[in-house]
DNA sequence: TTCCTTGCAAATCGTTTGCATAATG
DNA sequence: CATTATGCAAACGATTTGCAAGGAA
C-alpha cells in the first residue's frame, strides 16, 4: 500500500496542525473547503482515517459520538466540556501506573488505557447565569 | 415525569441483571425478543435510555461507536478487547487521585473522568496463536 | 501507464422520533 | 380517566463505500 501525495491531504494536515483544539471531520471539511471548494466530505473522512491509521494524527473518541482529531500524537490527556462539547488538552503528566495496576491478576493482555476528563469549561461557567439545556452524552 | 411499569421494561432490566458482560442495545433486543416476540428496537432503545437517565443502569461508551449497558452502577473499570470487542469488568480499585490531580491548575470544573483499558482478552489470545500486533490499526 | 486519490452519491450503521394504538395507575 | 408505553416505520447524523474520472509517480 503505497502512498501518493495529494494537495487535499496536505491541506487537511496543515489545517489540523494549525489548531490546538480537536476538530471534528465536519469542521475540517468546512475549513479546508476554503482552499479546496470542491473537496468532498468523503475525501476528508478517507484522509483522516488514513492519517490516523499510519499514526500521523490521533483519532479521539470522547463519548459524544463524534470523532475528534488531534495533530499531536504524543500521549496526553483531554478535557471534554459537557456543556459545549469542546475538547482541550490537559496539562497533566501521563502516568502508566494505572495500566500497570490493571495488569495485575487480569488474564489477558492490557495494552493501554483511554482516559478523558469531563466537566464544565471556563467559558461555559462564565455564561452559566443562563441555564443551558444542552447536555452532551457524557456519564454523570 | 411519572413512570408507569411495563413488562417490556422489566424484561429488559431482568436480562441486563442476568449478564456480567455489557450487552449492546441490539443484543438486548435479540434476547428480550424471546420473551416478547413483538417488542421493537425502538422500545429497547427508549427503555435503555430511560433507565440510564434515572440511574438504574449505566451507559458505557468504550470507543467502538456502539453503546454498551451495565446493570452494575457502582464505579468500576472496564476492559475492552480490541479484537472481539467484548467488554468486561476489571478487578481494580477505583481511585480519584487522577481526577484530583487534573483539577490542579485547570481553569474550569472537572467533574469526573472516564477510563477504560484495552488489549486482547484471554479468549482472543488463545485463538490467535503468534500473530499479534497485526490487527492493530495498521494500514493494509 | 500504473494505481492511488478524488468527487459524487448512494449506502450503512447505530440511534432517535412521530404517530396512532395499547396498557397502566 | 389521564397519561405513559408500545410497535412500526420513517428520519436522523456520522461515517463508509462503489464507481468513474482525475492526478501523481
> Which has the higher per-residue pLDDT, B105 or A135?
B105
The answer on pLDDT for B11 being more than 90 is yes
The topology under which CATH files domain B1-73 is Arc Repressor Mutant, subunit A (1.10.10)
| Pairwise CB contact (< 8 Å): A79 & B108 | yes
**A129 vs B: CB within 8 A:** no
Give the per-residue pLDDT at B1: 64
Residues 36-55 of B with CB under 7 A from strand D: 36, 38-43, 46-47, 50
All structural domains of chain B with their residue ranges: 1-73, 76-140
- What is the band of B136 on the pLDDT scale with cuts at 50, 70, 90? very low
Q: How far apart are CA B38 and CA A2, in angstroms?
A: 51
Residue B134 and residue A90: Cα distance in Å, rounded?
A: 31
CB-strand contact A84/D, under 7 Å: no
**pLDDT value of position B134:** 37
Mean pLDDT of chain A: 91
Q: Does B137 reach chain A within 8 Å, measured CB to CB?
A: yes
Q: Which residues contact B100 (CB under 8 A, 6 or more apart)?
A: none
Convert the pLDDT of each residue in B60-84 to its tens digit.
Answer: 999 999 999 999 999 999 999 999 9
d(CA B80, CA B87): 5
Q: What is the CATH number of domain A76-140?
A: 3.30.1490.190
Q: Which of A56, A78, A102 to mutate to test the interface with B (most CBs of B within 10 A)?
A: A102
Q: How many CA atoms lie within 13 A of A72 on its CB side?
A: 14
**CA–CA separation, A123 and A105 (whole Å):** 43
pLDDT of residue B132: 42
**pLDDT tens for residues A30-52?**
999 999 999 999 999 999 999 99
Q: Do B122 and A108 touch (CB under 8 A)?
A: yes
Helix (H) or strand (E) holding A12: helix A7-17
Q: Does A135 touch chain B (CB under 8 A)?
A: no
A42 Cβ contacts chain D strand, under 7 Å: yes
Three-state secondary structure call for residue A123: helix
pLDDT of residue B24: 98
Q: Which of residues 46-105 of A touch B (CB under 8 A)?
A: 50, 52-54, 61, 63, 65, 77, 79, 81-82, 90-92, 95, 98-99, 101-102, 104-105
pLDDT score, position B127: 82
CA A63 vs CA A69, A82, A114, B35, B113: distances in Å:
14, 10, 11, 32, 11
Q: Is the pLDDT of residue B123 over 70?
A: yes
The pTM of the full predicted model, rounded to 2 decimals, is 0.89
Regions of chain A with pLDDT less than 50 = 130-140
Average pLDDT for B105-132: 87
The answer, yes or no, to whether residue B39 has pLDDT greater than 80, is: yes
| Phi, psi dihedrals of residue A72, rounded to the nearest 5° | -85, 110
Q: Please report where in the chains the cell 471539511 appears, as a residue.
A: A29
Tens digit of each residue's pLDDT (9 = 90 or more) over B26-35:
999 999 999 9
Amino acid at each position: 500500500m503505497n502512498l501518493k501525495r495529494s494537495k487535499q491531504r496536505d491541506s487537511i494536515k496543515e489545517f489540523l496542525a494549525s489548531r490546538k483544539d480537536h476538530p471534528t471531520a465536519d469542521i475540517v471539511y468546512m475549513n479546508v473547503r476554503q482552499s479546496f471548494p470542491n473537496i468532498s466530505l468523503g475525501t476528508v473522512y478517507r484522509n483522516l482515517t488514513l492519517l490516523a491509521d499510519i499514526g500521523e494524527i490521533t483519532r479521539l473518541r470522547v463519548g459524544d459520538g463524534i470523532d475528534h482529531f488531534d495533530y499531536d500524537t504524543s500521549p496526553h490527556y483531554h478535557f471534554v466540556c459537557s456543556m459545549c462539547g469542546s475538547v482541550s488538552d490537559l496539562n497533566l503528566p501521563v502516568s502508566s501506573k494505572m495500566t500497570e495496576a490493571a495488569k495485575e491478576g487480569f488474564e489477558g493482555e492490557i495494552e493501554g488505557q483511554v482516559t478523558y476528563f469531563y466537566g464544565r469549561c471556563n467559558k461555559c461557567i462564565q455564561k452559566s447565569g443562563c441555564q443551558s439545556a444542552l447536555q452532551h452524552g457524557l456519564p454523570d
